[in-house]
Structures are given as C-alpha cells and as structure tokens.
Amino acid sequence: MAYSEKVIDHYKNPRNVGTLDKNSKNVGTGLVGAPECGDVMRLQIEVDQETGIIKEAKFKTFGCGSAIASSSLATEWLKGKTIEQALEIDNMDIVEELSLPPVKIHCSVLAEDAILAAINDYRIKNGLEPIQEKNKQ
C-alpha cells in the first residue's frame, strides 16, 4: 500500500516522541489499543494548571506507519489547545490531514480514543468526572 507523503513525513520525523511523568498531577496519560491487535498508542498531555492549556504532548506508538503518523499528528495539534478545544479533534480531521485510506481509518479512531483517554486520566487525577461521550459538535 502506498502511503501519503504526510504519513511518511510523520513516520520518518515523528513529532513529540517521548514520555512525560505519568505520576504528575498535571499529566494525563491515555493508553489504547492492544498488542494482539497490532497497535497500541500511548498519548500524554501536560496541562498548565493556571491557564488550562495543554503545554506539552508526547506519544509512543506500536503500530503501522498510519498509526504512528496519526498519534504524531495528534500531539502536534494538542499543544496550545485547551482541554475543551482538544476534545473537538475528530478522527476524520486526522484522516483528511494524512489522506488515510479507508483500511487505515481505525488508526485515526485510535488516536481520537487516546486523546480522550489522556484527558480523562487528567480529569480524574484532578477530581473531575471523566467524559463518557465526546461532543462531536
């Protein structure tokens, strides 16, 4: 399967690979997927407590090029956003930006799930209710 140039670029030069301190109160960690399914994404956000803005985002992904690119792109988009703005990131935006073919749409869904999981981890740590359903509007 031929990958789009943007997927190749993210794969070759992944943005924000790394690890944040998962025990820090400011950090939310989302770990989604399963090794036996062939993809696992870990996405982390660090939130500025005063402004409520995501100041750092990191990822590590076990998966195909599209899964790596989807998570790399997600970290780029997350930085500088508020939690509310971050929740608005839709998997179809990732599909469009990376020109993912239909068989790779699940990679973008996984990235969206990882964002939500990271946000919820952060919310729980800070005494807030986890968000069940994402408001897609």
Q: What are phi and psi of 21, to 5 degrees?
A: -70, 105
The catalytic residue among 19, 21, 37, 126 is 37
- Which listed residue (27, 54, 57, 67) binds other proteins by CB under 8 A? 67
- Which listed residue (5, 36, 129, 133) binds other proteins by CB under 8 A? 36
Task: Single out the segment in contact with other proteins by CB under 8 A; choices: 38-46, 74-82, 86-94, 118-126.
Answer: 38-46
Secondary structure class of 77 (helix, strand, coil): helix
- Taking Cα atoms as reference points, which of 48, 37, 33, 47 lies closest to residue 114? 33
- Taking Cα atoms as reference points, which of 74, 76, 79 lies closest to residue 91? 74
Whole-number Å distance between alpha carbons of 108 and 113: 9
* Active site (annotated) includes residue 64: no
Does position 110 bind other proteins by CB under 8 A?
yes
Does position 53 bind other proteins by CB under 8 A?
no
Q: What are phi and psi of 27, to 5 degrees?
A: -105, 135
Does position 39 bind other proteins by CB under 8 A?
yes
One-letter amino acid for residue 41 of the chain: M
Active site (catalytic) residues: 37, 107
Which residues are near other proteins by CB under 8 A? 3, 8, 11, 14, 17, 19, 31-42, 60-65, 67-68, 102-106, 109-110, 113, 117
